[in-house]
Every structure is written in C-alpha cells, then in structure tokens.
C-alpha cells in the first residue's frame, strides 16, 4: 500500500482533533463475490447520499491492492481519478447508485487483512481497515449500512458459504458452482463485514431466550476438529444467557455463527453474526488443550459475543474511540468469567490473573515509548493501537466507573447507554456520560470531567501513601500523594479521580471497624475513598493501636501504590487479609522486595535471597487447609522478570534472571517436603473437567512437580524426574501432561529430550499442540546461551512456517518477548536475531512484524552493553527502506524514546 507521506517523506499521523463527519452516507451495500483464490471478482452496488451536514466535497473511497475494472454512477460510466490509493469522484448528485467492480488475489494475501485463503478456505478480516482490500469503500466506522451479500463458488471445493445475518436464498449454478445469499438485518460499519467459504462442518445448538425466541448457534471447524468444539459451544451458550441476565442484552439474531481458522493475526473477530476465530480460541478437548486454553476460550468466546452489543449495535465514531468497545467488552468478559465462578476464591483468582496481565504488560507500555492514552490523540497505523492500554487499561477505567456508581448503578448506566445510542457510532464521552446520567447522585457524576482524564492522560499514576498513628487522639492519618510521570507528548498531568478501596486490620490480622474523622457512623469491611486532589489526608478515628492498612483492595484502580509496609505488616496481610487480592499482593510485595535486595547486593554476595520469614510464610500458605489450590499457586508464583525489571531504573536482565532463578531454587529446596505433599494431595483430579477448583489443583500439582524437578537438579535426585516422566506418559489430560513436560524442560533434565520427542510424535497432527511444543522450547531457561541456537534450529524444523502467525509467535515471540533471560545476551546476538525477524516478517505480515517490534520497547532502561546493542538493532530496522507503516511507527517511536 502506498504510504501517505509528508514533505519530508514521513508517514502522516492521523489526529483525533481532525475528525470530520463523512461527506457521504452509504445506506445499502449489495456485494456479489465470485470466489476464486487467484482472482476473486467483487461487484459492489451501493446506494449513497450526500451528508447534508458536511461541507460539499468529492467522494473519496479507500482501496488497497485492488484491481479496478469498472465504475458506474446510476448505471452510467463515470469519470473518476485515483489519488494515491483513493478513488475520487467529483460532481455527484445528492443521491445515487454507485457500482464498482474490482478483483483481488486472496491466495497471495499474506497480510491476512481483507479476503484471504487459509487451508483452502476463504476468510475475511476487516477491522480496522481491511474492507478497503475487498472493495472501494468509505472505510471508517461511522459509515453504517445495510448489507446484502451473494457468494458464488465451486460447490465441491467450497460447499459452505457464509456471511453476516440470515441466509435468504441458496441454489445451484452451472459448471458445478453454487451460490448463497445473505441479508444482515442490522446496519453496520464495514469493519464488521465477513465472509467464509470452504469445507467446514458445524456443531449446532438451539437455545431459547428469556422471551421465548429460538436461536441457532453454530461453531464451524474443519471436519477432523468437531470433537473439539463442545467447550466453545458451551461458552457461547453461557455468554448468551449471561448477557441477558446481567445486562438485559438479548441475542438479536436468528443465527449466530463462530468459524475457526488456523491463520489469523489475532485472537478473534466480532463480525456481526459471523465471528471468526483463531483456532487457538475455539478448539479444545482434554487431550489437546490445557486448563489455561479452556479458560481463554471461555473469555474470548464471551468477549466476541458481548461485542454483539458493545461494538456492533453501538460502535465507534472513529478509531480513536476504540476503547469504547474494547475496554467495555474486556470488562464485560472479565465480569462474565468471574460470574461463572462458583465461589469468592475463584473470583479473586480471576481478578488476580487479570491484574497480573495489566501490571506485566500494560504498565510497561504506559511507561515506554508507545505510551498512549486510553483514547489516543494520534496514530500512524491504527493496527498498532490494539494494545493492552486500549483493552486492559480501558477495562479498568470501566471497572472504576462501576466501583463509583455501584454494580446496580452500573447496570442502569449500561441500559441507558444502549437506549440512547443503539444503531449509532459514538465516542468514549458518550459512554461515560450515560453511566453518569443514570447515576446523578454518584461521585462519578460529580467528578465526571475530571474522571475523564483517564481517557486523555497516558501513564500509570503513582500513589505515595504514608500513615501516622496518633496515640493521644486514637487516630490514624493516611496521607496520599498522587503523581504521574510524563509520557510522549504529555509533559504534565492533572490529578486523576482514583477510587481506593481500603480496610484496616489490627496487628493480629483482625479487621477493624472504620470511622472517618467527622463521621458519626462506624462502618465494617471495605470502603471506597475517592481521591481527586494531588494530595489528600484521610483520618480514621477510634483506634487503640496503629492499624495495618489494606489499601487498594481488589486493585480498585490501575495505579502503583507505594506504602512503606514493614515485613511484619506484609506478613500480617498475607496471613489474614479478608481481601484475597491484597492477601496475594502482600506476598508479591515481599517477593519483590527480596528480589530487589538481591539485585542490589554485590554479585559475590552469597546470602540467600529469601529470608526465613518469607519461606515460613509460604509454607503456611501451602499448608493452609482453608485456601484453595488455585490461590496457593498464585501466591507461590514469584513476580515475573518483566515486573521486577519495571521497578528498576536501570535493568541488567541477566541479573534479574539470576536472582529470580536463585529465589526459585531456594523455594524448591527449602519447601521440598511440602512440595512432595502438595503433589501427593493434588495430582489426582479425577475425571477431567476444566472448572476452577480442579484446574487450580492441577496448577498447584504442576507447580510442585516443577519445584521438585528443580530441587532434583541441585541434589542429583533421580526419583522425581523419573516420576515426572512417568506422569508425562500416563497423563489423562493435556494440562497434566504439559506440566510434567514443562517441569523436565525447565529444570534442564536429561529426560526432557525423550519427553519432547515423544510429545511431538503423539501430537504431530495437532497444530495447536505443536505450537506448545515449539513455544516451550523457545521459552525455556537459558543455560550457557543455548536457547538462541535452539530457536534457529527450530525455525528449520519441517513444521515451522513463519507465514503462520501462531507458529511464528510460538517460536519467535516466545523467545524475543517471553524469555528475557535468553533474549538479552551480552553478545547482542538475541537483538540481531530480533531485527532480522522483524524485517523478514514485515515483508510478509506487517501487523505481526510490528508486534514483534514491540519486544524492545523498554530498551532505554537497559544497562550497558544491552542498551547500546538494543538501540543499534532498532536503528537497523528503522533504516530499512520500504518498511510498512506498522513497523515504521513502532521503531521510530522507540528511537524517539531516548
Ligand atoms: N476487534 C478485534 C480486534 C481486531 C484487531 C484488528 N487489528 C478482536 C476483539 O477485540 O474482539
Ligand atoms: Zn474486542
């Protein structure tokens, strides 16, 4: 695609402030496809009318890599011109029919945007700007039209022909061809258009909604995969029921389809009535998928289904508003997964997992060169803004609104939002306004303009909290100062509205009643303090002794909390906090503190990193019969290398890796007999079900095996590695089998080689399992620099293909983005490998390349020699001529970062 460039030859940034309504509206679109992998013909007949509210302008239609054959206006040949990739027509009447005939070449479409072929099946991906690769169009989300789609193709090769909405007609055509005609009853932006054509089979289920209406649900896959669709279907049924029960949002279509493809740039896509999914988020049976896969499938199926309202019925006015649908829909899928949990502990586990993602991926983004507000102000390539900030931080912003108006108030707000805006393309402001208007007496309503700084200001706010006990007045004053570092393009920040959930414990860990100075009433349990000034003081009265504050319970705001907890206070919270999130958080703080001390200590220091109090506390957690296995597994998981690195001003990745490894080795040996017992108690989870309780037990048993093999490494014990190999061979499900394999591989045991070979032999025909096989090896702990040569070897394996995004991710991303100890090599070979792969991928699939380019976002924090070497590698990529604008934007921002 031709880049739009400025006078200096740089790609032009699109700015939010430049938004203007389209000069024309498109009311109806009638598309006819003659599907052929080498040359697909697309006939596009549209009814357009001039937008009376916009200044008179020519019609400018977007296109990309299309062959244009014909343009007719009201049936007559029309004069048009090309300006870059745009087709421009002047002198049009106020209302007219436009017919455009183009061809494209799906088989050569390695970008996987627009119409492409995967395993002999046609698929489309149009969000954000892929529809212009199918036909000339006003490719922007605020142009919403009614679609009729006719698909024609060879019947033997493409027996199933699908598009959005309802199938209204189908039949035979000459020469072994057939057709299907689909009508979508809802108007939609073109990014929600989809078609699928190929040899597919479907699992079907009919469900009856609350209003008695029947719907057909279908999950389409390749013939051999039908036995892996039950969980996706169950997740879809649960999603339909949940959205109706929790938010009163019903399924609005007679038929709702999910189709899986193994070649996909992302997880899944919410096309109206025809969701297209990466196979990774559809296919599961107990032999091939882990508990984590099951849980991801539930979330992603839910997420795409929930878009049917939050995204499809009400969509974004422009792509700067992306979080309007993504933040809200992530929030909705998180709530869905929590609501499916049977108990409070499982809900807390889900919350902790979500926060872990936020803190290990979004916080670094918000502190790095790609930092952007939840509603960005500019972009070069919108694909680069499908980020953890838009998604996960966006979800936290929605969650804070719920915290400020309460659960019921939030449901009222959602109802008002859909009443007001059904069928419209709107903004983040419209959303926040609806939630506030439905709750006029709330803190959100009172503080709305300030609250909306969460949309406009990038960066993670920091809360510096400090507590002082006044024995004479029996009071405790908490001073909290908020701050936020500058981010690219935003030198100063105004104070945020921050809901802080808080509780107080006494020294023995009992929850204390709470009374704020000036208040008459005493409250029990958690309460929400709403901070809105740069500095605030909150005084609690009626306290006989200094309390232990439990601040930011449930992670009530996406902020960094600094509080000078003593070890003793953290141990109290870890042992007693009734808020499970903060209980876990106390353990993380202790672990982090130990890691930072270990990193700061001299290299020659042989003092163990973890002290006895920490080990004893972990032992108590493991032995505590009242805690669930899933929760124990989270507490015993040390903060990740990425998270530890974020706390440092200058990062020596090898040192971080070494210290964390030492901590793990210490946990392995010091708790050896406990790990044995934990394994014995948890390894048998009976007949496989992916529910939170049994998956938690499998996770804890897997962790125990890991530590037991690690301990064996230093002691020379052969019993546990032997048992682990046996477990690997006998396992009745993929979770247990993979955990055993992982224990052997990550402890570097000699038995790992035979287990890996056996694993490959068993699963050679299961692409998603082979992805795991690749990923495990590329992500394994480095021993003397052995992982990079292995990664290069893996890329020569006959099963490797860089063109398949899942496979590329399983090898290249697992190494560059998820294996810091192996990637950050003092000889810079990891960075050289990275730059070569970014360049190689960029020519095939810019979206995947630009994602990989993000692996060095935090280069400027690195210690030497890593820092200079990383910068050089980024500069090498940036200097490459003809870079896609996706990769160009990422690397130029990275270089500008310092
Ligand atoms: N909306 C899609 C993401 C599209 C990504 C385009 N580069 C999936 C989702 O968030 O549900
Ligand atoms: Zn989404």
Give per-residue pLDDT as tens, 742-762.
999 999 999 999 999 999 999
At residue 2 the predicted structure's pLDDT band, cuts being 50, 70 and 90, is very low
- pLDDT over 70 (residue 311): yes
pLDDT at 3: 45
Q: Which residue has the tokens 């998928």?
A: 289
pLDDT at 580: 98
CA of 266 to the centre of ligand 1 (A): 7
pLDDT at 604: 67
Rounded to an integer, what distance in angstroms lies between the CA atom of residue 101 and that of residue 801?
35
At residue 606 the predicted structure's pLDDT band, cuts being 50, 70 and 90, is confident
Atom 3 in ligand 1: which residue has the minimum CA distance? 269
CA of 725 to the centre of ligand 2 (A): 40
Could you give the 3-state DSSP secondary structure of residue 15? strand
Atom of ligand 1 nearest to the CA of 307: 11
Q: What angle do CA 885, 890, 895 make, to 5 degrees?
A: 120
pLDDT at 211: 83
Atom of ligand 1 nearest to the CA of 304: 11
Atom of ligand 1 nearest to the CA of 330: 10
Asked if residue 586 lies in contact with residue 573, where contact means CB atoms within 8 angstroms, the answer is yes
Cα–Cα distances in angstroms (integers) from residue 129 to residues 114, 134, 319, 644, 851, in the given order: 8, 10, 10, 37, 17
Q: What is the mean pLDDT of residues 2-25?
A: 84
Say yes or no: CB of residue 127 within 6 Å of ligand 1: yes
Rounded to an integer, what distance in angstroms lies between the CA atom of residue 370 and that of residue 858?
10
CA of 414 to the centre of ligand 2 (A): 17
- pLDDT over 60 (residue 670): yes
Closest CA to 532 of 447, 463, 598, 633: 447
pLDDT in tens, 821-875: 999 999 999 999 999 999 999 999 999 999 999 999 999 999 999 999 999 999 9
| Secondary structure E strands in 778-845 | none
Say yes or no: CB of residue 266 within 6 Å of ligand 1: yes
Say yes or no: CB of residue 877 within 6 Å of ligand 1: no
Say yes or no: CB of residue 652 within 6 Å of ligand 1: no
Atom 8 in ligand 1: which residue has the minimum CA distance? 269
Say yes or no: CB of residue 330 within 6 Å of ligand 1: no
Asked if residue 21 lies in contact with residue 53, where contact means CB atoms within 8 angstroms, the answer is yes
Please state which of the ranges 254-268, 301-315, 329-343, 604-618 shows the lowest mean pLDDT: 604-618
- pLDDT over 90 (residue 1): no
**Nearest bound ligand to CA 845?**
1
Q: Order across the sheet with 475-483: list the strands.
A: 535-540, 475-483, 462-470, 560-563
CB burial of residue 716 (10 Å; 0-12, 13-18, 19+): exposed
Atom of ligand 1 nearest to the CA of 127: 6
Q: What is the mean pLDDT of residues 267-272?
A: 99
CA of 268 to the centre of ligand 2 (A): 8
Q: What is the mean pLDDT of residues 626-636?
A: 98
Q: Which of 191, 193, 269, 280 to mutate to test the pocket of ligand 1 (most atoms within 8 A of CB)?
A: 269
Could you give the 3-state DSSP secondary structure of residue 42? strand
Could you give the 3-state DSSP secondary structure of residue 400? helix
Which residues lie closer than 8 Å to 586 by C-beta, 6 or more apart? 565, 570, 571, 573, 574, 577
Is residue 706 within a helix (H) or strand (E), and if so which, with residue range? helix 692-715
Q: What is the mean pLDDT of residues 519-528?
A: 96
Atom 9 in ligand 1: which residue has the minimum CA distance? 269
Q: Of 304, 335, 396, 536, which one is the catalytic site residue? A: 304
Half-sphere exposure of 606 (CA within 13 A, CB side): 0
**Nearest bound ligand to CA 326?**
2
Atom 2 in ligand 1: which residue has the minimum CA distance? 269
Cα–Cα distances in angstroms (integers) from residue 746 to residues 551, 630, 742, 779, 798, in the given order: 36, 21, 6, 9, 24
Rounded to an integer, what distance in angstroms lies between the CA atom of residue 22 and that of residue 45?
19
Say yes or no: CB of residue 386 within 6 Å of ligand 1: yes
At residue 898 the predicted structure's pLDDT band, cuts being 50, 70 and 90, is low
CA of 398 to the centre of ligand 2 (A): 14
- pLDDT over 80 (residue 276): yes
CA of 322 to the centre of ligand 1 (A): 10
Q: What is the mean pLDDT of residues 389-394?
A: 99
| Secondary structure E strands in 411-534 | 425-426, 462-470, 475-483, 498-505, 527-531
CA of 45 to the centre of ligand 2 (A): 30
How many CB atoms lie under 10 A from the CB of residue 646? 20
Two structure tokens written together for 738: 């993979």
CA of 277 to the centre of ligand 2 (A): 12
Q: What is the mean pLDDT of residues 576-596?
A: 98
pLDDT in tens, 21-55: 999 999 999 999 999 999 999 999 999 999 999 99
The count of residues in the chain is 898
Atom of ligand 1 nearest to the CA of 270: 11
Longest dimension (CA), the chain: 95
Closest CA to 595 of 659, 661, 654: 659
- pLDDT over 80 (residue 895): yes
Q: What is the mean pLDDT of residues 338-362?
A: 97
Q: What is the mean pLDDT of residues 322-340?
A: 99
Say yes or no: CB of residue 179 within 6 Å of ligand 1: no
Atom 4 in ligand 1: which residue has the minimum CA distance? 127
pLDDT at 595: 97
Q: Which of 188, 191, 270 to mutate to test the pocket of ligand 1 (most atoms within 8 A of CB)?
A: 270
Atom of ligand 1 nearest to the CA of 267: 8
pLDDT in tens, 677-691: 999 999 999 999 999
CA of 404 to the centre of ligand 1 (A): 28
What pTM does this model have?
A: 0.98
CA of 326 to the centre of ligand 2 (A): 5
Which residues lie closer than 8 Å to 871 by C-beta, 6 or more apart? 859, 860, 895
pLDDT in tens, 113-126: 999 999 999 999 99
Q: What is the mean pLDDT of residues 131-141?
A: 99
**Nearest bound ligand to CA 851?**
1
Q: What is the mean pLDDT of residues 765-772?
A: 99
Instruction: Provide the β-strand partners of residue 523.
Output: 514
pLDDT in tens, 423-432: 999 999 999 9
Say yes or no: CB of residue 269 within 6 Å of ligand 1: yes
Q: Which of 326, 381, 385, 389 to mutate to test the pocket of ligand 1 (most atoms within 8 A of CB)?
A: 326
**169 included as an active-site residue:** no
Radius of gyration in angstroms for the set of CA atoms belonging to the chain, rounded to a whole number: 28
At residue 602 the predicted structure's pLDDT band, cuts being 50, 70 and 90, is low
Atom 10 in ligand 1: which residue has the minimum CA distance? 326
pLDDT at 210: 86
Two structure tokens written together for 814: 């697992």
Average pLDDT over the chain, rounded to whole?
A: 97
Rounded to an integer, what distance in angstroms lies between the CA atom of residue 808 and that of residue 545?
58
**Nearest bound ligand to CA 271?**
1
**Nearest bound ligand to CA 268?**
1
Say yes or no: CB of residue 264 within 6 Å of ligand 1: no
pLDDT at 4: 63
Distance of CA 697 to the CA centre of its chain: 25
Two structure tokens written together for 28: 């109806």
Atom of ligand 1 nearest to the CA of 303: 11
Closest CA to 40 of 135, 171, 178: 135
Atom 1 in ligand 1: which residue has the minimum CA distance? 269
């Amino acid at each position: 695609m031709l880049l739009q460039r400025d006078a200096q030859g740089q790609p032009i940034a699109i700015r939010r402030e430049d938004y203007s309504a389209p000069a024309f509206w498109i009311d109806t679109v009638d598309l006819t496809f003659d599907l052929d992998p080498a040359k697909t013909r697309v006939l596009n007949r549209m009814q357009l009318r001039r937008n009376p509210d916009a200044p008179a302008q020519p019609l400018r239609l977007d296109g990309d890599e299309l062959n244009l054959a014909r343009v007719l206006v009201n049936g007559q040949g029309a004069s048009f011109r090309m300006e870059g990739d745009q087709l421009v027509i002047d002198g049009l009447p106020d209302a007219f029919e436009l017919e455009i005939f183009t061809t494209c070449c799906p088989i050569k479409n390695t970008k996987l945007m627009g119409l492409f072929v995967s395993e002999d099946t046609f698929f489309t991906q149009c969000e954000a700007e892929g529809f212009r690769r199918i036909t000339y169009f006003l490719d922007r989300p605020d142009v919403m039209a009614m679609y009729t789609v006719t698909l024609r193709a060879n019947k033997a090769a493409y027996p199933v022909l699908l598009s959005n909405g309802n199938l209204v007609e189908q039949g035979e055509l000459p020469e072994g061809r057939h057709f299907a005609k689909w009508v979508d009853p809802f108007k939609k932006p073109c990014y929600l258009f989809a078609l699928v054509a190929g040899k597919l089979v479907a699992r079907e289920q009919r469900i009856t909604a609350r209003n008695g209406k029947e719907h057909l649900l279908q999950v389409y896959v390749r013939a051999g995969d039908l036995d892996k669709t039950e969980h996706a279907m169950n997740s879809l049924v649960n999603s339909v029921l949940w959205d109706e029960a929790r938010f009163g949002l019903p399924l609005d279509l007679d038929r709702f389809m999910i189709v899986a493809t193994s070649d996909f740039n992302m997880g899944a896509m919410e096309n109206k009535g025809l969701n297209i999914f990466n196979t990774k988020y559809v296919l599961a049976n107990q032999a091939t998928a882990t508990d984590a896969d099951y849980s991801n499938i539930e979330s992603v199926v839910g997420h795409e289904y929930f878009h049917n309202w939050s995204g499809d019925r009400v969509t974004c006015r422009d792509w700067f508003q992306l979080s309007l649908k993504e933040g809200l829909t992530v929030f909705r899928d998180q709530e869905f997964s929590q609501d499916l949990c049977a108990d409070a502990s499982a809900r807390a586990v889900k919350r902790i997992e979500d926060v872990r993602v936020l803190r290990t991926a979004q916080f670094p983004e918000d502190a790095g060169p790609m930092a952007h507000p939840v509603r960005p102000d500019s972009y070069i390539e919108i694909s680069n803004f499908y980020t953890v900030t838009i998604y996960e931080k966006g979800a936290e912003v929605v969650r804070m609104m719920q915290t400020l108006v309460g659960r019921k108030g939030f449901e009222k707000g959602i109802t008002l939002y859909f009443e007001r805006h059904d069928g419209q393309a709107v903004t983040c402001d419209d959303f926040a306004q609806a939630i506030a208007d439905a709750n006029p007496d709330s803190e959100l309503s009172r503080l709305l303009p300030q609250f909306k700084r969460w949309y406009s200001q990038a960066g993670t706010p920091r809360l510096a909290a400090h507590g002082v006990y006044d024995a004479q007045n029996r009071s405790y004053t908490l001073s909290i100062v908020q701050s936020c570092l500058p981010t690219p393009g935003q030198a100063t920040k105004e104070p945020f509205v921050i809901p802080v959930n808080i509780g107080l414990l006494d020294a023995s860990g009992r929850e204390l009643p709470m009374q704020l100075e000036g208040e008459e009433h005493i409250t029990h349990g958690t309460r929400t303090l709403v901070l809105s000034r740069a500095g605030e003081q909150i005084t609690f009265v009626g306290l006989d002794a200094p309390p232990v504050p439990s601040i930011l319970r449930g992670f009530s705001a996406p902020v960094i909390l600094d509080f000078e907890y003593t070890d003793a206070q953290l141990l109290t919270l870890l042992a007693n906090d009734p808020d499970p999130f903060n209980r876990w958080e106390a353990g993380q703080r202790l672990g982090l503190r130990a890691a930072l001390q270990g990193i700061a200590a001299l290299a020659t220091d042989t003092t163990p990193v973890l002290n006895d109090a920490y080990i004893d506390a972990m032992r108590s957690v493991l032995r505590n019969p009242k805690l669930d296995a899933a929760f124990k597994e989270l507490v015993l998981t040390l903060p990740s290398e990425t998270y530890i690195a974020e706390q440092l001003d200058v990062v020596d990745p090898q040192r971080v890796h070494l210290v964390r490894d030492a901590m793990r080795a210490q946990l392995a040996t010091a708790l050896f007999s406990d790990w044995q017992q934990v394994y014995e108690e948890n390894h048998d989870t009976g007949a496989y079900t992916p529910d939170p309780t049994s998956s938690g037990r499998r996770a804890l048993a897997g962790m125990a095996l890991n530590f037991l093999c690690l301990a064996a490494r230093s002691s020379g014990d052969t019993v546990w590695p032997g048992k682990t190999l046996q477990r690997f061979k006998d396992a009745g499900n993929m979770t247990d089998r993979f955990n055993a394999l992982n224990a052997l591989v990550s402890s570097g045991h000699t038995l790992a080689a035979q287990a890996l070979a056996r694993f490959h032999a068993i699963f050679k025909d299961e692409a998603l399992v082979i992805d795991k096989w690749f990923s495990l090896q590329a992500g394994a702990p480095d021993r003397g620099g052995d992982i990079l040569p292995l990664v290069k070897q893996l890329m020569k394996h006959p099963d490797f293909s860089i063109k398949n995004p899942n496979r590329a991710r399983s090898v290249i991303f697992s190494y560059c983005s998820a294996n810091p100890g192996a990637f950050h090599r003092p000889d810079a070979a990891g960075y050289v490998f990275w730059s070569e792969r970014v360049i190689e991928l960029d020519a095939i699939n810019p979206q995947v390349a630009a994602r990989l380019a993000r692996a060095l976002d935090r280069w400027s924090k690195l210690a030497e020699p890593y820092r200079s070497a990383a910068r050089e590698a980024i500069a090498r990529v940036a200097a490459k001529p003809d870079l896609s604008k996706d990769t160009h934007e990422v690397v130029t921002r990275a270089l500008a970062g310092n």
